[in-house]
């Protein structure tokens, strides 16, 4: 199944169209460094997913072998069950990922951007799949074939791409049943009334049924209540994990340590953290993290972004035919590349030394690949 791989060029085209439309309307929906970090997280997730996703498929297949029923892959009703079941399971995984600190430490990556545009849809955590696969076990036990589950899950994620935009307003009757940009803008907002709302993937009816729906009323302010303040995609995936670990170590007693790991992210031994007030919200809206790199550095990053996007597209298609060392080292280089972009855009002191080492490693990889594989 290469649905995500074949979608990569389409994602790029649609992001370019959204940027063009926003500029025509005089709206600033993108910041260069933030958009690059969004895409970097997606690239890293797809690269590491070569190994991570394989493990989740094996878990699903293991439970599928224990199935209670045998559902045919060519039945319309199997596909209906799979699509609705995947969406229902996604709702509960997504909800837990906001309401349990350990799961939030993984999922928070998707919410760190202080903008809201199609690039944000690509901002995914490296290890989302292993945290979510357990919610799909009932589908395996019911007999939904692995290939049907995989494609249904891919279609669910692809649907969610287009709802990450501010250019589409409320959608009337459609929004009564389906997730829309307006509903999902609420989900990405840090306004007090919007926190922990609208978890839906495709069907917003789950939120309406289980009491987590909130309509868009006031203008959303995006991000997380504690901003990341970094363009480093690798650190974006580690920041909250480190924070949760420190929180668990800091509190005393086994009970408090367990609550630090599994309670709501706002939990504290002396009471829950309070949402941001209106003054704090306005400050967040007016003061987004935005270190400005020179144009030539931005151009350099754009060139490498295009090259790496092409590389990840090819890697997703052919990695099964590559030697393990070639695919594993390619994944490492791709993830390291995204970290270097963050350093360059933030003008870190270590960035150019790291970039030189990365370029040398890329050259060595290419030489080894063509010498021993091609």
Closest by CA to 219, choosing from 184, 187, 175, 189, is 189
The span from the CA of 178 to the CA of 160, in Å, is 11
Q: Is the pLDDT of residue 222 over 60?
A: yes
CA dihedral sign of residues 121, 126, 128, 133: positive
Average pLDDT of the residues in 324-329: 92
In this structure, what DSSP letter does residue 254 have? H
Express each pLDDT in 242-281 by its tens digit. 999 999 999 999 999 999 999 999 999 888 899 999 999 9
3-state secondary structure of 292: coil
Question: Each residue of 183-217: b (16+ CB within 10 Å) or e?
Answer: bbbbbbbbbeebbebbbbbbbbbbbeeeebbbebe
Give the model's confidence band at 44: pLDDT under 50 very low, under 70 low, under 90 confident, else very high: very high
Express each pLDDT in 121-159 by its tens digit. 999 999 998 899 999 999 999 999 999 999 999 999 999
Give the model's confidence band at 2: pLDDT under 50 very low, under 70 low, under 90 confident, else very high: low
Average pLDDT of the residues in 17-30: 95
Give the model's confidence band at 210: pLDDT under 50 very low, under 70 low, under 90 confident, else very high: very high
pTM of the model: 0.94
> CB–CB of 143/278 below 8 Å?
no
pLDDT for the residue numbered 223:
97
Express each pLDDT in 67-100 by its tens digit. 999 899 999 999 999 999 999 999 999 999 999 9
* Half-sphere exposure of residue 19: CA atoms within 13 angstroms, side-chain side: 12
Average pLDDT of the residues in 162-186: 97
pLDDT for the residue numbered 54:
84
Q: Is the pLDDT of residue 370 over 90?
A: no
Give the model's confidence band at 216: pLDDT under 50 very low, under 70 low, under 90 confident, else very high: very high
Checking 175-184 for CB contacts under 8 A at 24+ apart, the result is: 175/204, 176/204, 177/203, 177/204, 177/205, 178/202, 178/203, 178/204, 179/203, 179/204, 180/204, 182/215, 182/216, 183/207, 183/213, 183/215, 183/216, 184/160
Burial of 354 (0-12, 13-18, 19+ CB in 10 A): middle
pLDDT for the residue numbered 6:
84
pLDDT for the residue numbered 372:
77
Domain ranges of the chain: 3-210, 295-372
Average pLDDT of the residues in 292-297: 94
Burial of 28 (0-12, 13-18, 19+ CB in 10 A): exposed
Q: Is the pLDDT of residue 184 over 80?
A: yes
């Amino acid at each position: 199944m290469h649905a995500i791989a074949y979608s990569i060029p389409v994602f790029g085209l649609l992001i370019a169209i959204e940027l063009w439309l926003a500029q025509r309307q005089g709206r600033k929906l993108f910041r260069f460094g933030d958009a690059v970090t969004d895409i970097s997280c997606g690239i890293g997730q797809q690269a590491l997913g070569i190994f991570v996703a394989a493990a989740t498929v094996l878990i699903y297949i293991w439970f599928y072998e224990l199935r209670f029923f045998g559902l045919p892959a060519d039945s319309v009703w199997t596909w209906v069950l799979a699509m609705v079941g995947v969406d229902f399971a996604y709702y509960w995984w997504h909800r837990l990922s906001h309401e349990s600190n350990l799961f939030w430490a993984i999922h928070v990556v998707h919410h760190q951007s202080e903008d809201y545009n199609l690039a944000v849809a690509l901002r995914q955590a490296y290890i989302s799949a292993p945290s979510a696969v357990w919610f799909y076990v009932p589908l395996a036990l019911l007999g939904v074939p692995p290939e049907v589950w995989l494609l249904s899950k891919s279609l669910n994620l692809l649907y969610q791409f287009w709802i990450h935009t501010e250019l589409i307003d409320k959608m009337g009757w459609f929004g009564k049943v389906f997730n829309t940009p307006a509903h999902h803008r609420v989900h990405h907002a840090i306004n007090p009334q919007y926190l922990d709302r609208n978890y839906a993937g495709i069907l917003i009816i789950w939120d309406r049924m289980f009491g987590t729906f909130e309509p868009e009323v006031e203008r959303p302010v995006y991000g997380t209540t504690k901003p990341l303040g970094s363009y480093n995609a690798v650190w974006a995936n580690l920041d909250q994990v480190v924070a949760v670990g420190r929180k668990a170590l800091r509190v005393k007693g086994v009970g408090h340590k367990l609550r630090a790991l599994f309670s709501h992210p706002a939990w504290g031994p002396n009471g829950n953290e309070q949402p941001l007030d209106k003054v704090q919200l306005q400050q967040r809206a007016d003061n987004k993290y935005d270190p400005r790199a020179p144009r030539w550095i931005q151009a350099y990053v754009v060139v490498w972004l295009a090259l790496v996007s092409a590389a990840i597209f090819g890697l997703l298609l052919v990695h099964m035919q590559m030697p393990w060392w070639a695919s594993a080292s390619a994944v490492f280089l791709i993830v390291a590349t995204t970290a270097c972009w963050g350093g360059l855009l933030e003008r870190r002191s270590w960035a150019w030394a790291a970039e030189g080492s990365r370029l040398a490693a890329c050259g060595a990889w290419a030489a080894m690949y063509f010498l021993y594989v091609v």
